[in-house]
Amino acid sequence: MNLKLRRFAVLPLVLTAAAFFVSTVNVAHAAWTPRKPVEFVIMAGPGGGADKMARLMQTVIEKHNFSPKPFIPVNKPGGSGAEALVHMKSKKKDNHIVMVTLNSFYTTPLRQPNLRVDPLTFKPIARMAEDTFILWVHKDAGITNIEQFVDAAKKAGSKWTMAGTGKGGEDELLTSFLNKTYGLKMKYVPFKGGGRVAKELAGKHANSTVNNPSEALGFYESGDVVPIVAFTKDRLPLFPDTPTMGEVGVPYSYFMQRSVVGTPGMTDDAYEFYKGVFEKVYNSEEWKAYMKKKSLLGDFLSGNGLVDYWKVNNETHRKMLKEIGEI
C-alpha cells in the first residue's frame, strides 16, 4: 500500500476516535435530569396548606415543561410528619425524591429524638414562601375581636377546644402562646392536616383554630368562619380589617416555612436541577398569584442561605417546645 492510500485508510479511524472523545466529553458534562418520575412527598395530610402548595407546584411544573419527568405528590402525614422524615432519610442519596416541608420539619425531630433525623442534613433546595397564621372562630360564636375571644375562652376553660395540625407543631405552639399570654386553659386537639382542621371549625366541632389563610379561605369566603387576629407584623392585604397581635397589645409574629428539600446525600448536579425547577416555579405568574391570594410572604431562598434560616428557626422552636414541656 502506498503512502497516500495508507493515509486515507487511517483517516476514518482518527475521525471515529475523535467523535467518540467528543461524545464522551458531552455526556460527562451534560446537566442532570431525572430518568423516572419524581416522588413529591408532602409531610402533611390532604387539603392543608402544604398539600395545596405541592399540587399547585406540580401543575406549574407540568404546564411549563420545567421537568422532563412528572412530579408525583404523595401525602405522608403520620406522626406529625415523622413518617415523611423517616421515609426521606431511608432514601439517602436518592435523586428522584423531594419533599415539601413545614415547621414540623424542626419540631418533630426535636420531639422524637429516637427518629435520629437531623433536618439540617437535608438538601436545601428552595424556600418558596413563609405562610401566615390567623386566629379563627365560627360566625355563630358571635365573636368579632380578641377581647370577646378571651372572655369566651376563659369562661369555657378546658372545654374550649382549639383544633390544629399535628402534635407539638405550629398550631399547638400558637395555642400554648395564647393560653400563656391570656391566662386561658384551651384544650388542643390535633388532626392530620389543615384542611381537616378547617372543616372541624366550619362544622362547629371545635371552638377555634389558627389555620393558615389558604386552609380557611373557602370557609371565610362562604361566611362560616371569622378572622380575629393575625400573627404577623403587618396586616395582611387579603384581610385588611383583621388586626395584628401587635395592634391588640401583644407584639408577636410567627411564620411557617414552605420549603422543598432533597434527601441527605442528594448529588450536587441533582440539587442544581431541582433548584432551577423551583426557582422557575417561584417566578411564574401562577405562583405569584397564589402567594397573593393565600397571603404568603417571603423571597426565594436556597443553598447556604436556606441552611442558615433553618439553623435559626430550629433553635427558636427548640426553645418554644421547652416552654410548653414537649422536650
Mean pLDDT rounded to a whole number for the chain? 91
For the segment 184-210, what is each residue's pLDDT rounded down to a tens digit? 999 999 998 888 999 999 999 999 999
- Report the pLDDT value the prediction gives residue 251, as an integer from 0 to 100: 92
- Report the pLDDT value the prediction gives residue 16, as an integer from 0 to 100: 46
Tell me if 168 sits within 8 A of 82, measured CB to CB. Answer: no
pLDDT of residue 268 exceeding 80, the answer is yes
Tell me what percent of the residues of the chain surpass a pLDDT of 70.
91
What one-letter code names the amino acid at 26?
A: N
pLDDT of residue 151 exceeding 70, the answer is yes
H helices of 64-133, in order, are 82-90, 104-111
- Euclidean distance between CA atoms 223 and 202, whole angstroms: 10
Cα 269 to Cα 33, 192, 199, 266: the distances in Å are 9, 34, 42, 9
Mean pLDDT score, 126-148: 97
Q: For the domain 38-131+255-323, what is the CATH code?
A: 3.40.190.150
Domains 38-131+255-323 and 134-248 share a fold: yes
Burial, 8: exposed, middle or buried (Cβ in 10 Å; 0-12, 13-18, 19+)?
exposed
Q: For the domain 134-248, what is the CATH code?
A: 3.40.190.10
For the segment 113-135, what is each residue's pLDDT rounded down to a tens digit? 999 999 999 999 999 999 999 99
Mean pLDDT score, 166-183: 93
**In the chain, where are the structural domains located?**
38-131+255-323, 134-248
pTM, 2 dp: 0.82
Pairing mode of beta strands 161-165, 208-209: parallel
- Euclidean distance between CA atoms 162 and 187, whole angstroms: 6
Q: How confident is the model at residue 276 (pLDDT cuts 50, 70, 90)?
A: very high
Task: Give SS3 for 225.
Answer: strand
Mean pLDDT score, 139-157: 98
Q: What single-letter DSSP state applies at residue 71?
A: E
